[in-house]
């Protein structure tokens, strides 16, 4: 009986140990899953205060998905309509990294990998160039991988206005023999290794397939993005020789989407989803980041890149018919910097000088406002520019900040305002020193062609403004004044 009791006691002890071991294993598995899930969502990011550099480590969630608005196949894969999505890395100390796109580009004779994003790192010295340490794995076969270590250098873009979130570009030099499309990226912090992600690197055409491309955005659903403004702006720029426009869209009304869909179907517009995960604390919805994304996706694809806003029109003067006509009559340059003048968009309506009255139906701002300030902005003050993409290293809103090595060097042509001028249509005060007005009817040279193009476009767009503007003319102008006063 004693032996039986001892045997039972030992058996119970073994069962207890087995159960305890099982419970411990289950606990470990669940804990590991929680940690893995936390890392997958927030990434491992650390901001280290250092006098010379900031090291950022984390899993890089970068994608290149196709757009739900813009998905038709195009002849040039690099210029397909696409939907970049922001991928967020967060840390417990309040640091965020948001990545948008990645490209493989040539800078001179050197091949580089570049990643466009924005970041928030409050403890960092944002005035310094920093390092983003990582590894790139290149897939050679179904199960074979070759490891290549790289350092991605972090470059803070200018004109961030000291907002919490700032635009950045990460870059690394890679071998000229690096031709793979798919790579796996991971980031290392000492013994810690982040999750790996697969990244599709978009190549860049070697030969220019376009002459002029434009970068527009970020666009938001406000009154000045009324669909008629888009049609007027696109049709004028087509007359000037623009081949393609990249629109960075944060949100839009159904009418605006119909307009963009029409131009997308014609192969004139690529719409990119620029819905930022952060609603504020970044200057102008991350315009500097979108501008550099536009630059990289057009290196090798276009001879010239043009940066203007929706309320700006680069208008040739002095008999020039379009932008190419003007450029061919000035010295070759890396950048053509064009002065601007403000046209009042709140008053001084004038429809004389051309026969068609349809501009009153479609509210063509550029044709019914002919009074501007006498003052012309120059020397990077509210100027806009036309640049050769391969010559640009760091762009700005009003001029190029840094040039890359190219055949045109770092030459800049400052345009003669009598030959070409940016018409900036916005409200202005006449009681300032710069408020002296002059009448300028240069735009009316293009009125008949422009009005015809606008009318043809609206005949094909499903959302026709005649459905929305069928009021008597007096009520129409009252409604127009209300819209313009809200700008």
Give residue-wise pLDDT tens across range 44-74. Answer: 333 332 222 233 333 333 322 233 333 332 3
CA–CA separation, 187 vs 201, rounded Å?
A: 17
Are 288 and 313 members of one domain?
yes
**In this structure, are 186 and 228 located in the same domain?**
no
* Per-residue pLDDT tens digits for 5-49: 554 555 556 565 666 666 666 555 444 443 333 333 233 333 332
Least confident of 234-238, 390-394, 447-451, 468-472: 468-472
Distance from C-alpha of 152 to C-alpha of 172, rounded to nearest angstrom? 5
Residues 176, 256, single domain; the answer is no
Q: Within a domain: residue 257?
A: yes
Give the whole-angstrom CA distance, residue 156 versus residue 158. 7
Residues 281, 187 share a domain: no
Q: Which residue has the tokens 């000291």?
A: 162
Calculate the alpha carbon distances from 362 to 223, 226, 457, 464, 468 in Å: 14, 11, 11, 10, 10
Predicted confidence (pLDDT) per residue in 323-338, tens digit? 999 999 999 999 999 9
The closest of 173, 99, 166, 92 to 128, measured between CA atoms, is 166
Per the listing, tokens 């397939």 go with: 209
Q: Long-range contacts: 25-32, Cβ < 8 Å, 24+?
A: none
Distance CA 436, CA 206 (A): 48
Q: In sequence order, which residues have a C-beta less than 8 Å from that of residue 14 and are 6 or more positions away?
A: none
In a domain, residue 29? The reply is no
More confident residue, 2 or 164: 164
Q: Say yes or no: 410 and 373 in one domain.
A: yes
The answer as to whether 280 is a domain residue is: yes
CATH number at residue 421: 3.90.550
Is 343 in the same domain as 431?
yes
Mark whether 220 and 322 lie in a shared domain.
yes
The count of domains in the chain is: 2
Output Rg (C-alpha) for the chain, integer angstroms: 28
- How many CB atoms are closer than 10 A to CB 25? 10
Instruction: Provide the residue range defining the domain that includes 157.
Output: 77-200
**pLDDT score, position 175:** 77
* Tokens (6 digits) for 78: 């690099």
Looking at the domain assignment, is residue 33 inside a domain? no
**Alpha-helix residue ranges (DSSP H) falling in 116-202:** none
In a domain, 253, yes or no: yes
- Using CA of residue 381, residue 387, residue 391, residue 393, what is the dihedral sign? positive
Flag whether 316 is in a domain. yes
Report pLDDT digits (tens) over 375-391: 999 999 999 999 999 99
pLDDT tens string 180-222: 676 665 555 444 444 455 556 766 666 788 999 999 988 876 6
The verdict on residue 283 lying in a domain is: yes
Span 349-361, pLDDT tens digits: 665 545 455 555 6
- Same domain for 175 and 230? no
Q: Tokens 């043009």 sit at which residue?
A: 306
Residue 166 and residue 250 in one domain: no
What is the Cα–Cα distance from 90 to 430, expressed in whole angstroms?
48
What b/e string do you get for 68-103 counting C-beta neighbours within 10 Å, with b at 16 or more? Answer: ebbeeeeeeebbbbbbbbbbebbbeeebbbbbbbbb
364 occurs within a structural domain? yes
- What gap in Å lies between CA 365 and CA 379, rounded to an integer? 27
Q: What band does 422 get if pLDDT is binned at 50, 70 and 90?
A: very high
Which among 288, 459, 444 is positioned nearest to 366, based on CA atoms? 444
DSSP for 299-335, written as a single string: TTTEEEEEE--TTEEEEE-TT--SHHHHHTTS---SE
């Amino acid at each position: 009986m004693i032996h039986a009791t001892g045997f039972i006691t030992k058996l119970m002890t073994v069962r207890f140990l087995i159960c305890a071991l099982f419970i411990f294993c289950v606990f470990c598995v669940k804990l590991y899953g929680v940690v893995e899930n936390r890392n997958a969502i927030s990434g491992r990011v650390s901001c280290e205060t250092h006098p010379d550099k900031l090291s950022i480590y984390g899993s890089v969630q970068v994608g290149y998905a196709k757009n739900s608005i813009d998905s038709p196949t195009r002849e040039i894969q690099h210029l397909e309509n696409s939907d970049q999505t922001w991928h967020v890395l967060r840390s417990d100390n309040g640091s965020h990294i948001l990545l948008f796109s990645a490209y493989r580009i040539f800078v001179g004779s050197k091949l580089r990998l570049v990643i466009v994003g924005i970041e928030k790192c409050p403890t960092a010295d944002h005035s310094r160039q920093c390092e983003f340490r990582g590894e790139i794995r290149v897939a050679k076969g179904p199960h074979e991988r070759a490891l290549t270590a790289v350092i991605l250098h972090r470059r803070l873009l200018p004109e961030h206005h000291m907002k919490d979130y700032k635009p950045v570009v990460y870059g690394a030099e890679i071998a000229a023999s690096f031709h793979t499309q798919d790579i796996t990226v991971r980031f290392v912090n000492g013994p810690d290794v982040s999750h790996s992600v697969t990244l599709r690197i978009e190549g860049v055409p070697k030969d220019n397939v376009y002459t002029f491309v434009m970068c527009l955005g970020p666009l938001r659903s406000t009154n000045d993005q009324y669909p008629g403004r888009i049609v007027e702006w696109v049709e004028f720029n087509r007359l000037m020789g623009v081949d393609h426009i990249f629109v960075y869209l944060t949100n839009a009304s159904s009418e605006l989407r119909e307009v963009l869909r029409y131009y997308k179907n014609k192969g004139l517009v690529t719409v990119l989803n620029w819905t930022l995960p952060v609603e504020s604390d970044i200057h102008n919805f991350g315009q500097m980041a979108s501008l550099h994304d536009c630059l990289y996706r057009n290196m090798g694809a276009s001879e010239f890149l043009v940066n203007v806003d929706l309320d700006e029109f680069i208008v040739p003067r002095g008999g020039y018919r379009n932008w190419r006509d003007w450029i061919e009559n000035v010295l070759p340059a890396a950048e053509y910097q064009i002065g601007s003048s403000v046209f009042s968009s709140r008053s001084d309506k004038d429809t004389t000088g051309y026969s068609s009255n349809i501009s009153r139906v479609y509210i063509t701002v550029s044709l019914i406002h002919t009074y501007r300030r006498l003052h012309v902005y120059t020397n990077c003050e509210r100027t806009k520019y036309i640049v050769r993409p391969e010559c640009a290293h760091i762009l700005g809103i009003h001029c190029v900040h840094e040039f890359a090595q190219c055949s045109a060097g770092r030459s800049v042509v400052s345009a003669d305002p009598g030959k070409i001028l940016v018409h900036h249509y916005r409200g202005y005060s006449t009681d300032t020193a710069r408020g002296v007005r002059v009448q300028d009817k240069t735009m009316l040279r293009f009125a008949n062609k422009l009005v015809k193009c606008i009318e043809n476009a609206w005949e094909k767009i499903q959302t026709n403004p005649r459905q929305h503007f069928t009021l008597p003319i007096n009520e129409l102008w009252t409604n127009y004044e209300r819209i313009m006063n809200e700008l």
